[in-house]
Amino acid sequence: MSHAAINDEEDPDYKDIESDNAFNLTDEELRAICLCIQEVALPTWVARPFTNLGEARHGKLKADVYLVLFTVILPHVLPGLWWNKASIY
């Protein structure tokens, strides 16, 4: 089965994250993520991300930090943040 190549604009599931503000977190959301970074139990061989996410002084994140954030930290925090927002509607 072959799939025809389609442009992003033609894809009904395409979401332009640069114009959608999908990753603009509130101060409350950033605090929740930083608190999780401080308190989550990590194996000794896993480097803990910096707790000053969102501040320019920590610089750019490296691949290993992104891995820990997206596989360990955010799965703990985001469902609670999303559930609270969804419950008000």
Q: Could you tell me the mean pLDDT of each successive run of 10 residues in the chain, 89 residues long?
A: 59 64 77 91 90 79 89 90 64
**The overall pTM is greater than 0.75:** no
C-alpha of 36 from chain center: 13
Query: Residue 2 has what pLDDT?
Result: 46
First vs last C-alpha separation in the chain: 42
Contact of 40 with 72, CB cutoff 8 Å: yes
Q: What is the pLDDT of residue 1?
A: 43
Residue type, 71: T
pLDDT at position 53 = 81
Task: Say what the pLDDT of residue 61 is.
Answer: 82
